[in-house]
Amino acid sequence: MDYHLKIKQEFFFEVTLPGSKSITNRALLLASLSTDNTLLQNFLLSDDTEHMIDGLQKLGTSINISKDKKNILVIANQKRTFNKVSLYTGNAGTMLRFLSTYIGIGNGEVTLFGDKRMNERPIYPLVQSLQTLGCKIEYLDKEGFPPIKIFSDNLYREAFFSTMTSPNEIIVDSSISSQYLTSLLLTIPILKIPFKIRNSNRIVSRPYIDMSLAMIKQFGGKITENIHDNSFSIFPSTYSLKKYIIEGDMSSASYFLAMALISNSTIKINNFFKTSLQGDKKFLDIFLKLGGKILSQEQYSITVQGCSQYPGINIDLNEAPDIAQTLAVVALFATSPTTIKNVSNMRIKETDRILALKNEINKLGGTLIEEFDNDGNEGFTIIPLHQKNYKSATIETYNDHRMAMSFSLVGLRIPNIIIKDSQCVNKTFPNYFDIFEKIYR
C-alpha cells in the first residue's frame, strides 16, 4: 500500500510511542529462560516480535497475550526440549541471532530460516562462537549465512565442556553486529559453569550491549566486564523477575523529534523514558545541538519545539546506526552539509541502507556522497539544496521500515511525495501512518 504525503508546517501534535522492539525481544527471551513466570507490560506487538513469540512457542514456551494486547505473560520454559522444528524468522535479526544460542543449550534439531534479505545477512561470527561452545551447526545453503540447522544435545554439550581449557573461553567477532555478542550474553548465564566471552574485534552499536547487560542484571544475571582485554566474565545465574515494564522505542522517537525540526512544530511524545536504556536516545542530543528545544520533560514524556532553520552536523553514529536514516532526511533541509561517519554496518541491515538512501535522495534531486575514513569505515555526506530545488518523487522502501518512516518526513516539506509499500512499518511500528495521518486533521 502506498502512502501519499501532504506539506504541513508549524503544528502541534501529540504521540505515544510503541514499546521498544529491541527490549521486547530481549525480555521475551530472558523471561523464557527464567524460573518464574514473567509479566511483560507495554510490550510491542509487531512483525518482528510476533516472529519471536511464534518461535518461542514452537520451542515449548507458553505465552499469553492479554485481550487489550498491552501485556504478555511468559510461562518459564525449564525443559528446553525442542525435538525437530523449523522456525521462520522473516527479516528479524534479533530473533534468528538470539534464538541460535537459546536453541544451542537445549535438546533438539532446529532449523532457522528467514526471508530473502535475512538469508543474505551474515551469521558466521555467531556460528563460530557457538561451535566453540560445543554446538553442532550446519549451513543449509550458502556458507556463513542462514538458513542454519542447529543440533543441540545436553549430554554431548556437557561432555564437550569437560574438554574446554580453563577459563572456559568463547571468542566472538562483534564488529559486524552487536547481536552476536548479545545472543551469547543473554543465554549463557543460566549454564552451570562460568564462562569468559572475549571480543576479537571492536564492538559496533555498543549501547545495545549496555542495554542487554542492564536487562540481564534486572533479571538476576551476573556478568562483569574487563575493558583491558575486551572481555566479559559470565557467572552461573538464575533468572527470575515477575514483572518488567518495556520502554517506549527511542528509534521511533527519532522520527517525531526530526518532525519537530523539519516542520518547526511543537510535539509532545508520550512513553518517552527519561532514563532510557536505549542508545538511540542520542537523537535527542542531536536535536538539541541543531537548535531544537525541550519545553518540558517528565519521567515518561517530553514536549519539544523545532526551529525555523538549523545547520548541518558532523557526527559519528557507530553506536547508533539506526538513527542515521532519520538524520539523513533532517540533513536535506539544513543550511550546511551533514557528514555521518563510521556506519559500515548499515550495509547489512534490512537493506543496504547507504545505497538505499543514496538512490532515494538522488530522486529528490539531492546529493549523498559515500565516504571512507582512514580505517576503511564507511559513512556519507549529504549536501542540502534550497527547498524549492527538490523534486517530487515516489520513494522506494526496500521492505525497510526505517526507510518508510524517515522519508515520510520529507513530505512535510516537499510536495507530492509518495511512500511505496508503507506497510513495511509493521516490523516495528504497525500504526505509524495511522498516527501520521492525525497531523493533517
Please tell me whether residue 24 adopts helix, strand or coil conformation: helix
Please tell me whether residue 19 adopts helix, strand or coil conformation: strand
Q: ω before 189 within 30° of 0 (cis)?
A: no
CATH architecture of the domain with residue range 3-18+247-440 = Alpha-beta prism (3.65)
**Tens place of pLDDT per residue across the chain (441 aa):** 999 999 999 999 999 999 999 999 999 999 999 999 999 999 999 999 999 999 999 999 999 999 998 899 999 888 899 989 999 999 999 999 999 999 999 999 999 999 999 999 999 999 999 998 889 999 999 999 999 999 998 777 777 777 776 668 899 999 999 999 999 999 999 998 899 999 999 899 999 999 999 999 999 999 999 988 899 999 999 999 999 999 999 999 999 999 999 999 999 999 999 999 999 999 999 999 999 999 999 999 999 999 999 999 999 999 999 999 999 999 999 999 999 999 999 999 999 999 999 999 999 999 999 998 888 889 999 999 988 899 999 999 999 999 999 999 999 999 999 999 999 999 999 999 999 999 988
Task: Give CA 129 to chain center in angstroms.
Answer: 21
| Cβ–Cβ under 8 Å, residues 221 and 194 | no
Residue 64: Cβ within 10 Å count: 11
Task: Specify whether 400 is catalytic.
Answer: no
Query: Please, where are the H alpha helices in 9-46?
Result: 21-32
Please tell me the pTM assigned to this model.
Answer: 0.92
Q: From CA 392, how far away is CA 417, in angstroms rounded?
A: 6
Domain ranges of the chain: 3-18+247-440, 21-233
- Span 21-233: which CATH code? 3.65.10.10
What pLDDT score does 282 carry?
Answer: 97
DSSP letters along 185-203, please? HHHGGGSSS-EEEEESSPP
What pLDDT score does 388 carry?
Answer: 87
Q: From CA 261, how far away is CA 10, in angstroms rounded?
A: 10
Q: Residue 334 is placed in which grid cell? A: 539544513
DSSP letters along 127-160, please? HHHHHHTT-EEEESSSTTSS-EEEEE-HHHHHHH
What pLDDT score does 309 carry?
Answer: 96
| Cβ–Cβ under 8 Å, residues 306 and 265 | yes
CA angle (251 as vertex; 173, 48 as ends), nearest 5: 70
Edge-to-edge strands, sheet with 71-75:
62-65, 71-75, 38-41, 243-245
Instruction: Please tell me which residue in 322, 400, 421, 434 is annotated as part of the active site.
Output: 322
Q: How far is CA 25 from CA 48, 217, 233, in A?
A: 8, 16, 23
What pLDDT score does 165 carry?
Answer: 65
Say yes or no: do domains 3-18+247-440 and 21-233 share a fold: yes
Q: From CA 287, how far away is CA 35, in angstroms rounded?
A: 42
Phi/psi region, residue 365 (left: phi>0; alpha: psi -120 to 50; beta: rest), is left
What pLDDT score does 440 carry?
Answer: 87
Quick: pLDDT tens for 196-255: 999 999 899 999 999 999 999 999 999 999 988 899 999 999 999 999 999 999 999 999
Pairing between strand 107-113 and 81-88?
parallel
What pLDDT score does 167 carry?
Answer: 64
